Amino acid sequence: MTGSARVLVTGAGGFVGRALVARLARTNEVVAASRGTHVGSAALRQHRVMEVDGATEWDAALAGCGTVVHLAARVHVMRDTAADPRAAFMRTNRDGTRRLAEQAAQAGVRRFVLVSTIGVCGANSMRGAPIGPDSPLAPLDPYSESKVAAEHALRKSCAASGMEWTVVRPPMVYGPGAPGNFAAMLRVLARRIPLPLASVGNRRSLVALDNLVDLLAVAVAHPAATGRILTVSDGEDLSTPELLERTARAMGLPGARLFPFPPPVLGAMLRMFGRDRTARRLLGHLEIDALPTRAALGWRPVVGVDEALRRAVA
């Protein structure tokens, strides 16, 4: 790795951030930027940042850094209390990324790795037509729109400064302590709630925390990551029933309690009650083409789905 081996990780106190800091600290000097007062071991450099927006001061955190991995973001909020949610997403994800990229370039940072989302290309894919790095942009919500804007802001800043950029677009990330939809799924399975999903035949890509963190560690230093959009997955797509069954077995349960129900009818019912996102997630396809990433970086997932599920529910 040329230049400084010091890496700034923003969002270091989050689900992915904590795991990435621990991984990078094996071989790099890490600056952990988070809202909390301490992340990781006492040997790590800490930087506290309460708000990420167009006015955040990053100079102290960036001092001596050769690489930035930008994880800090405003993500989906179930009960959003912001007066203007779209503006709030843009303020953190677009303006915050632009500000950090500009200050990183001024500080002499060599590479900026932005963790985006596969949602910039839409919530679903066509069966047999996976989303790849060159797929058209089709964001469907303010969060994904703000991530598109963040990607554009980063590339514009890098074009002006000569700083290298890499964008990583993961699907749903699961692992120990995973929040959001994965945590909700574990609660439903643990309560043995019957679900009308046995007839669903979709295909969806996921990525285990260990696999995403390993790819990010590779992207920090690999020459071929420069100027590249990296799509990532575990390499094994699952239907919703398969995911539920295999997760249940990882939990030590005899299986998920699923019963057949026509998916078109279930989808119509969910949409009638304003649960469009739930319908897309449970019934729709979301296949990701990670082969370009594997070919470019020589990268392979470090853990398989069943082992990753066991780690996630341990």
Q: What is the pLDDT along the chain (314 residues), one digit of tens a residue?
A: 344 689 999 999 999 999 999 999 998 899 999 987 667 665 578 888 889 999 999 999 999 999 999 999 998 765 666 778 899 999 999 999 999 999 999 999 999 999 999 999 999 999 889 999 999 999 999 999 999 999 999 999 999 999 999 999 999 999 999 988 999 999 999 999 999 999 999 999 999 999 999 999 999 999 999 999 999 999 999 999 999 999 999 999 999 999 999 999 999 999 999 999 999 999 999 999 999 999 999 999 999 999 999 999 98
Q: Are residues 161 and 36 part of one domain?
A: yes
Structure tokens at 49: 């940042």
Burial of 28 (0-12, 13-18, 19+ CB in 10 A): buried
What is the number of structural domains in the chain? 2
Q: Are residues 134 and 247 part of one domain?
A: no
Q: Are residues 117 and 215 part of one domain?
A: yes
Please give the pLDDT value at position 102: 97
Structure tokens at 226: 């420069």
Q: Are residues 20 and 157 part of one domain?
A: yes
Q: Is 1 a member of any domain?
A: no
**How far is residue 50's CA from residue 4's CA, in Å, rounded to a whole number?**
26
Please give the pLDDT value at position 4: 64
Q: Is 309 a member of any domain?
A: no
C-alpha count within 13 angstroms, C-beta hemisphere, residue 171: 28
Q: Are residues 161 and 88 part of one domain?
A: yes
In sequence order, what E strands does 57-116 have?
67-70, 111-115
**How far is residue 101's CA from residue 165's CA, in Å, rounded to a whole number?**
10
Domain that includes residue 129, residue range: 6-175+206-236+287-303
* 298, 291 Cβ separation under 8 angstroms: no
Q: Is 260 a member of any domain?
A: yes
> Which residue out of 15, 112, 143, 165 is catalytically annotated?
143
- Total count of residues recorded for the chain: 314
Q: Are residues 266 and 149 part of one domain?
A: no
Q: Across the strands, what pairs with 238? A: 204
Please give the pLDDT value at position 47: 87
**How far is residue 5's CA from residue 66's CA, in Å, rounded to a whole number?**
6
Q: Are residues 215 and 90 part of one domain?
A: yes
Q: Are residues 219 and 137 part of one domain?
A: yes
Closest CA to 301 of 228, 206, 205, 233: 233
* 7, 68 Cβ separation under 8 angstroms: yes
* 226, 164 Cβ separation under 8 angstroms: yes
Strands 6-10 and 29-34: parallel
Closest CA to 28 of 14, 12, 9: 9
Q: Is 310 a member of any domain?
A: no
Q: Is 312 a member of any domain?
A: no
Q: Is 308 a member of any domain?
A: no
Q: Are residues 252 and 106 part of one domain?
A: no
Structure tokens at 143: 């969060």
192 torsion bin: left (phi>0), alpha (psi -120 to 50), beta (else):
left
Q: Are residues 86 and 170 part of one domain?
A: yes
Please give the pLDDT value at position 298: 96
Q: Is 313 a member of any domain?
A: no
Please give the pLDDT value at position 35: 86
Q: Are residues 102 and 192 part of one domain?
A: no
Structure tokens at 8: 């700034």
CATH number, domain containing residue 128: 3.40.50.720
**How far is residue 67's CA from residue 153's CA, in Å, rounded to a whole number?**
17
Please give the pLDDT value at position 168: 98
Place of tokens 């560690």: 217
Q: Are residues 189 and 124 part of one domain?
A: no
**How far is residue 234's CA from residue 203's CA, in Å, rounded to a whole number?**
13
Please give the pLDDT value at position 1: 36
Q: Which pTM value belongs to this model?
A: 0.94
Please give the pLDDT value at position 78: 57
Closest CA to 1 of 150, 79, 111: 111
Residue 143 catalytic? yes
Please give the pLDDT value at position 137: 96
Place of tokens 């094996």: 26
Q: Is 90 a member of any domain?
A: yes
